[in-house]
């Protein structure tokens, strides 16, 4: 493979927090040399050069939670369309949810995902395996065989594991493999028929609410079980200040607990539902603005470990319904970075800290070498113009579905180029 030099860049290494002018040399799919201070690395014959003047160069994002459709829901998304949307959003590694049809609960299905990804995807696609067989919440899957086949974590996707005995058994089993368990923390009994955040706004809209206790009761249960079993446990997405405090206390006690937050809950609140906008019907629901601000502060502090897109494409027929009947889910993978940069522009969080939650920390949770600017790390990189303004047009999004809660939103931050293993897989159209 030819060498590729990226020069005149503002390098941001989220793993160390270092930020400064510099240049990179890429060779054979990896970072071969880094020159901080602006000097260009030496390159050999057949070199290619990218002038990144005015752009930020940083590791590609690692998204721990995205629904990519295959197998069984190709009308919503495919590995091909989802990977193109990911590349346009600066995401170079995607963990796909296992709640497909059939679910990813067998090594043969993992093999299918891997082969399809090699043929169709332009970014790295890693399968998460089902936590329980058939995602029915009754019997845990064969963790050892699934890990051997290539699974990177275990989750039942958008379904919470409600049976505490099954969760306890899963944690004990996973501990022996040091496997990562990711649960969707929303008690279905406490959620009931709720469709949005419980509170005054829901009452004025005449919609049944979902209390924060639907999240915190299950989260506290899982933390207690993780403490008792010493398992690696990850709360897939939290959405309120009380959950932040539960995680904070657990970490202080040495429990092996981490947590994520959806870009939706981090940048939107219940008022964005407006006049029953079903594109803003998500799980967990958009909360009160005070809860959102608590999440932002927890991310800046490091209590929240990762930011996920919660990319969940939905068919038009499932969203063009009365709010109470519409399906949960929103597009997120293509707009996640630009939406997250709202917090940087508002002075709420530093850019390296944000990028660590989008790349380094999720990579560390999965034991991956990406997410850092170091010699030998994979050359999965993005060239970002953090101040470039644009208006989101759902018709131009690369996902097969169009249910974006940011449709017509004014955002700042365009990915100009995305590289995977040193190869350019996406270049933005010239303005």
What's the rounded Cα separation, in Å, for the pair 385 and 177?
Answer: 41
Whether the CB-CB separation of 100 and 71 falls below 8 Å is answered with yes
* The pLDDT value given to residue 392: 96
Q: Which residues pair with 62 in a beta bridge?
A: 93
What interhelical angle do 213-229 and 164-177 show, nearest 10? 40
* The pLDDT value given to residue 134: 97
Asked if the structure places residue 29 within a domain, the reply is no
Cα 271-276-277 angle, rounded to 5 deg? 80
The tokens describing 55, both together, are 């752009």
* The pLDDT value given to residue 39: 63
What's the rounded Cα separation, in Å, for the pair 239 and 61?
Answer: 21
Asked if the structure places residue 223 within a domain, the reply is yes
Q: Give φ, ψ of 8 to 5 degrees.
A: 55, 35
The tokens describing 230, both together, are 């010493």
Choose among 385, 376, 395: nearest CA to 418.
385
N-term to C-term CA, the chain: 30
Choose among 127, 106, 103: nearest CA to 115.
127
What's the rounded Cα separation, in Å, for the pair 23 and 329?
Answer: 40
Which one-letter DSSP state was computed for residue 274? Answer: T
Asked if the structure places residue 185 within a domain, the reply is yes
Asked if the structure places residue 38 within a domain, the reply is no
* The pLDDT value given to residue 431: 47
Tally of helices (H runs) and strands (E runs) in the chain = 14, 19
Look up tokens 């260009």; give the residue: 40
Please report, in tens digits, the pLDDT of each residue of the chain (431 residues total): 578 999 999 999 999 999 999 999 999 999 999 999 866 666 555 578 999 999 999 999 999 999 999 999 999 999 999 999 999 999 999 999 999 999 999 999 999 999 999 999 999 999 999 999 999 999 999 999 999 999 999 999 999 999 999 999 999 999 999 999 999 999 999 999 999 999 999 999 999 999 999 999 999 999 999 999 999 999 999 999 999 999 999 999 999 999 999 999 999 999 999 999 999 999 999 999 999 999 999 999 999 999 999 999 999 999 999 999 999 999 999 999 999 999 999 999 999 999 999 999 999 999 999 999 999 999 999 999 999 999 999 999 999 999 999 999 999 999 999 999 999 999 998 54
Asked if the structure places residue 358 within a domain, the reply is yes
* The pLDDT value given to residue 42: 62
Asked if the structure places residue 330 within a domain, the reply is yes
Asked if the structure places residue 403 within a domain, the reply is no
Q: Give φ, ψ of 182 to 5 degrees.
A: -125, 115
Asked if the structure places residue 7 within a domain, the reply is no
Domain extent at residue 112:
60-366
The tally of CA atoms less than 13 A away on the side-chain side of residue 344 is: 16
- Cα separations in angstroms, 271 against 130, 192, 199, 313, 411: 34, 22, 11, 22, 18
Which one-letter DSSP state was computed for residue 132? Answer: B
Sign of CA dihedral 98, 102, 107, 111: negative
- Cα separations in angstroms, 56 against 110, 142, 240, 385: 35, 43, 32, 6
Choose among 242, 196, 195: nearest CA to 218.
242
* The pLDDT value given to residue 59: 98
What's the rounded Cα separation, in Å, for the pair 218 and 392?
Answer: 35
The tokens describing 28, both together, are 């054979």
Q: Which residues pair with 261 in a beta bridge?
A: 307
- Whether residue 71 is preceded by a cis peptide bond, meaning omega within 30 degrees of 0, is yes
The CATH code of the domain that includes 324 is 3.20.20.140
Which residue in the list 310, 312, 380, 385 is annotated as catalytic? 310
Domain count, the chain: 1
The tokens describing 160, both together, are 């919470």
189 labelled catalytic:
no
């Amino acid at each position: 493979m030819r060498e590729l030099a990226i020069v005149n860049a503002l390098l941001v290494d989220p793993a160390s927090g270092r930020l400064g002018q510099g240049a990179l040399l890429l060779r054979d799919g990896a970072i071969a040399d880094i020159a901080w201070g602006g000097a260009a690395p030496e390159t050999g014959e057949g070199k290619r050069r990218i002038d990144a003047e005015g752009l930020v160069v940083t590791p590609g994002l690692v998204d721990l939670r995205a629904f990519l459709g295959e197998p069984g829901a190709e009308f919503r998304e495919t590995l091909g369309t989802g990977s193109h949307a990911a590349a346009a959003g600066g995401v170079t590694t995607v963990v796909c949810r296992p709640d497909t049809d059939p679910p990813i609960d067998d090594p043969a299905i993992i093999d299918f995902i891997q082969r399809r990804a090699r043929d169709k995807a332009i970014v790295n696609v890693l399968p998460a395996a089902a936590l329980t067989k058939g995602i029915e919440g009754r019997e845990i899957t064969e963790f050892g065989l699934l890990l051997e086949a290539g699974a990177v974590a275990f989750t039942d996707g958008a379904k919470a594991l409600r049976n505490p005995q099954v969760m306890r058994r899963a944690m004990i089993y996973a501990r022996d493999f040091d496997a990562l368990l990711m649960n969707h923390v929303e008690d279905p009994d406490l959620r009931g028929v709720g469709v949005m955040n419980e509170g005054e706004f829901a009452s004025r809209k005449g919609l049944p609410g979902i209390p924060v206790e639907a999240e915190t009761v299950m989260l506290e249960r899982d933390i207690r079980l993780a403490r008792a079993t010493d398992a690696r446990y990850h709360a897939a997405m939290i959405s309120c200040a009380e959950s932040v405090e539960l995680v904070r206390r657990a970490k202080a006690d040495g429990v092996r607990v981490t947590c994520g937050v959806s870009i939706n809950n981090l940048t939107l609140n219940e008022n964005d539902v407006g006049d029953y906008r079903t594109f803003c019907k998500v799980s967990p629901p958009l909360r009160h603005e005070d809860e959102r601000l608590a999440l932002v502060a927890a991310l800046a502090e490091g209590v929240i470990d990762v930011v996920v897109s919660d990319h969940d494409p939905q068919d038009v027929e499932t969203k063009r319904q009365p709010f109470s009947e519409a399906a949960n889910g929103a597009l997120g993978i293509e707009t996640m970075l630009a939406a997250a940069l709202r917090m940087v522009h508002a002075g709420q969080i530093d850019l390296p800290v944000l990028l660590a939650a989008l790349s380094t920390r999720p990579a560390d949770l999965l034991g991956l070498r990406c997410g850092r600017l170091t010699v030998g790390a994979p050359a999965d990189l993005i060239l970002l113009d953090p101040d470039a303004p644009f208006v989101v047009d759902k018709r131009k999004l690369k996902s097969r579905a169009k249910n974006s809660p940011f449709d017509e939103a004014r955002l700042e931050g365009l990915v100009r180029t995305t590289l995977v293993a040193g190869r350019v897989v996406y270049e933005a159209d010239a303005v």
